[in-house]
Amino acid sequence: MNFILTHKDIFLRTLRIIAVSLILTAAVCAVALYSRTISDFVYYNRTPILAIAVLVLFIALLAQYKQTAILRENERLYQELQVRQAHIERDLAMARNVQEGLLRQKIPQLRGCKITADCRPAQKIGGDFYGATEQKGLVHFFLGDVAGHGISSALVMALTRGLLQELAQQFNSPARILEALNNRLNAYLQNTLSFVTLFYACYDPAGKKLTYASAGQHPALFFRERKLFAKLQTGGAILGMFAGNKYPAKTVKLKSGDKLLCYTDGFLEARAADGRELGEDFFSGQAQAIIHLPLEKIKTGIYAFTDKNARTINDDLSLLCFEAG
């Protein structure tokens, strides 16, 4: 619908109303002249008939004026909406740039292992995040997911990632890190519906020991010699909802070449052409089919498999691949 109304449009509309009124008047006069009875009636009542005609024309012009005023108001509201939409688009673009800056930071060369990761938001900005760093001889890495989408989720994501960087410098235990993170998030996110799921691990290259804890995140897949060796999960609660939660950690001994895949639920909730979710079995199967490849090819291969088999993707797709050296 066109809400833009020019002065030319108003003039033409008014001219059209006058023309229609004149045509109707001429038609009535023609009928009156054709019929003697009507002609006599019009002649003896010409004054009230003329008054009525003028009144009808006035009402028509008044209706046109009202319609013009409504269209003018619609035009104003439409232009105001466009301005607001432009501001929203600008804010979303800025938020996306900030988020991409956080996620596209190159994972540093880490001692005794290789890590690669990627995130594909379902919308312009998302709530998934990842990171890896080396602290006091241990390699810390994590993959998380903030509930929901949009700017609010992106803000919580940035907050969580910043807190993790701070806590990684204080603790070398995934359990202690998640407990502290949960309490901090609970204080920040009170009276909101936001929460965070997270897988966090610390790898000791010297002893090839991986210690991990989970907060409501899907289990990481542990592959050894091209086969799914174990699913790493500890059963911790989601972050930010309740203070005082405990997050038990577990430790596994790794061998050179062992690989770990951490992923968010966007891969599992993607829907095939028949409407069914791809699910965890599909993800595990496609991962095992290419787990022998280098990490970068595993990452791109899993995204390619998902793109090929999923008609609908409604959530962020994030993946972190780890290989022990």
pLDDT at 1: 44
Please tell me whether residue 144 adopts helix, strand or coil conformation. Answer: strand
User: What is the DSSP code string of 254-323?
Assistant: --TT-EEEEE-THHHH-B-TTS-B-HHHHHHHHHHHHTTS-HHHHHHHHHHHHHHH-SB--S-EEEEEEE
Rounded CA gap, 192 and 179, in Å? 20
Q: State in Å, rounded, how far the first CA of the chain is from the last one.
A: 63
pLDDT digits (tens, 9 = 90+) for 67-116: 777 777 777 777 777 777 766 566 556 656 665 665 666 777 888 999 99
* Dihedral angle over CA of 283, 285, 286, 287, nearest 10: 80
Residuewise pLDDT in 10s, the chain (325 residues): 444 555 566 556 666 666 666 676 666 665 555 655 655 655 566 676 666 666 766 676 677 677 777 777 777 777 777 777 766 566 556 656 665 665 666 777 888 999 999 988 877 777 889 999 999 899 999 999 998 777 778 888 888 988 999 999 999 999 999 999 999 999 988 877 789 999 999 999 999 999 999 999 999 999 999 899 999 989 899 999 999 999 999 999 999 999 999 999 999 999 988 888 999 999 999 999 999 999 999 999 999 999 898 888 888 899 999 999 8
Record the pTM: 0.72
Burial 122-160 (b: 16+ CB within 10 A, else e): beebbbbbbbbbbeeebbbbbbbbbbebebbbbbbbbbb
